Structure 1
Amino acid sequence: MIPPFFVAIPASSYLRRRIGGLTGIARGVILADLVGAQHVFIIADQPVAEDWHKSFALRIRPLPQVTVVAKPAELPPGTALLPADALPTKTALEALAEDPALVLVSGDPSLIREESDHATVMALLRATLKPTEGPVGRWINRPISFRMSALALRLGIGPDPITWFTLALAMVMAVVLGQGGVEWLALGGLLFQIVSVTDCVDGDIARVSWAMSRRGALLDTACDTVANLGFVIGLMTGVMRTYGLQYAWIALACVVLLVCGIVAMSILVRIGPKRGSFDVLRAALTQRLDGRPMLQTVTLTIERLFKRDVYVLVACGFCLSGLAWVLPGMLLVGLCIWLGAVAWCAPLIVADTEGLLLPPHMRQL
């Protein structure tokens, strides 16, 4: 029989501070619950404001059992103890779940505490970087979005206002592109790259402050869809107005294929995981190619070229270089490949009723 796993969190002055959108105590409660703690104790002379409630309500998770005790002596034997002078991470809680007697001290790589609150928030943001993040996102977009996210967290701005701002900016981008002319196409391409960066911010804030929700994920996916569709429609309109109606058939084909792909993926994730992100396609491709490592490596490498951060930067570069007329043909080929991958992986996505293809942070909702 597996022994119960209990976690104790000291209500120190440091852990009571709100850093990265919530207190260290709230962060500890949430992470302890995620790694399977049956009971969470808070060591305090008086009850602590239960500011973790909001996060659990957003994630539609039942609130874990939390008890305030005055002294460590009141804790059950074998209770794992979090340090009082550093912020925990999921890695730290997983280590304690393996060995509750483990003593974590400041400086442990599984804990976060920097010289300033800003540096601590930046460290928390870097810890949210996904292993599958492409080079463009890792080295160009995220260094910018992390600074924007840190500022938003300091100002108390949540993820939803950022999503709505990104949506509005995407609409402006589409209008600018549709004006036609090399200069307007260049400005529209630049706005597309800016939209790609700001689109990272809401997710950064949500993951660091544990303000993730299915509603937020749905809103973010809708924003991505509008941005992508707005770019294609705006680009095609601008290219036709600038270079002639001979691009009309490519424009129509690109819009139709993109709409078909978006509708298909939306239906598939609704039937299968019943929530989430188009990122399931990469996981489905990986599963499809199990047992064929060489083909899997090649396919997933090519798939990275279809990640939004990559194709947005490429599109921005062509628009700024005055070569926007090249993009319709490239888009047509890319959309055909993407739709082929969607069709090939559709059975796996539909069958994924447990959400195993979803990214890890989406499974926690």
Structure 2
Amino acid sequence: VRRLVGATAKPSDGPVSRWLNRPISRRVSAGLLLLMPDIRPSHVTAVVAVAGAAMFAALLFGGRAGLIAGGVLFHVASVIDGVDGEIARASHRSTVAGATLDTRVDVATNLGFFIGIAVSLTRLYGAGQAGVGALLVLFGLVGMVLLGWLARRAGRPGNLDVLKSYYRRRFPTGWQHRVTETLVAMTSRDFFAFAFGLIIVCGAGWTVSWLLFGFSAIWLTTIIAAVPGLLRQGGAPAPASAR
């Protein structure tokens, strides 16, 4: 079981996922499969949804302690999110429906973090946080909707890695490839969940809305820039999306 789970890494994993999240999630996945062989990936997806809901509630109603708890829970949800995919691939239970559910939970968790951070920091640090908070929520929402639409047009519903795949195919070598890999790493959820959680725990939570606004602006720009190329590829056959 451990060997099977160990072979479930994804080529799109960023450095935080590869060196921090995966070592933890693989142990959890192997333990769950050994203890509960009939476990389904959707069971773990439900746990991710619960962690996301707890994060959102902590950010909205928890004050300073809730801000810290929300930052930690966002990273916890990111780690657990790897477990359902690992179980699906190791047990050959990958399905398009499961991948779509997983993506919807991910999107809801991300958007919940954006909204929760905007509300929490506005309450803690004043109205100066409200404007940037509203913009980061807007950019995040537009980006998620646009990326989901592009994934469907590309024939890969439920697979938001379509953007990473597009840029890696377009710039396979050279300095453009290095820039692409840096942007992919910086805009991956595993990276910003860990980075922002760490910033909040270290007491600099007031900076998160500004940093997250910058991340969301870069991410949205890369999506918009990829639209023409992804639409041209939309008619080409694509493999089924399965986590």
Does 1:179 pair with 2:61?
A: yes
| Cα distance in structure 1, aligned partners of 2:242 and 2:150 | 20
TM-score normalized by structure 1?
0.63
How does 1:66-81 map onto structure 2 within 5 Å?
A: none
Query: Pick from 267, 280, 285: which aligns with 2:167?
Result: 285
Shift of 1:235: 1.1
Number of aligned residue pairs: 240
How does 1:253-264 map onto structure 2 within 5 Å?
A: 253-264=135-146
Query: For residue 14 of structure 1, what is the aligned residue in structure 2?
Result: none
Q: What percent identity do the matched residue pairs reach? A: 33
Distance 1:314 1:193, change over 3 A: same
Residue type at the aligned position of 2:61: Q
TM-score normalized by structure 2?
0.92
Does 1:344 pair with 2:228?
A: no
Q: Indicate the structure with greater helix content.
A: 2
Structure 1 segments, 4+ long, off by >4 Å, are 362-365
Does 1:213 pair with 2:77?
A: no
Distance 1:217 1:355, change over 3 A: farther
Shift of 1:186: 0.8
Residue type at the aligned position of 1:228: N
Structure with higher Rg: it is 1
Distance 1:348 1:187, change over 3 A: same
Instruction: After superposition, give the CA deviation of every residue in 1:132-176 in whole Å (9 maximum; x if it has no partner).
Output: 322211221111111211122121211001101211210110110
Shift of 1:287: 3.0
Residue type at the aligned position of 1:141: N
Shift of 1:277: 1.3
Query: For residue 19 of structure 2, what is the aligned residue in structure 1?
Result: 139
Distance 1:228 1:248, change over 3 A: same
Instruction: After superposition, give the CA deviation of every residue in 1:211-261 in whole Å (9 maximum; x if it has no partner).
Output: 011100100000100110011111111111111111111111111111100
Contact 2:14 2:184 in 1 (8 A): no
Distance 1:124 1:336, change over 3 A: same
TM-align CA RMSD: 1.8
Distance 1:311 1:336, change over 3 A: same
Residue type at the aligned position of 2:187: F
Distance 1:253 1:355, change over 3 A: farther
Shift of 1:328: 0.7
Distance 1:170 1:318, change over 3 A: same
Does 1:152 pair with 2:32?
A: yes
Contact 1:254 1:332 in 2 (8 A): yes
Residue type at the aligned position of 1:313: F
Contact 1:190 1:316 in 2 (8 A): yes
Does 1:129 pair with 2:9?
A: yes
Query: For residue 118 of structure 2, what is the aligned residue in structure 1?
Result: 236
Query: For residue 213 of structure 2, what is the aligned residue in structure 1?
Result: 332
| Cα distance in structure 1, aligned partners of 2:21 and 2:203 | 23
Contact 2:68 2:200 in 1 (8 A): yes
Query: For residue 323 of structure 1, what is the aligned residue in structure 2?
Result: 204
Shift of 1:289: 3.1
Where 1:305 maps in the other structure, the secondary structure is helix
Where 2:223 maps in the other structure, the secondary structure is helix
Q: Indicate the structure with greater strand content.
A: 1
| Cα distance in structure 2, aligned partners of 1:178 and 1:212 | 35
Distance 1:328 1:363, change over 3 A: closer
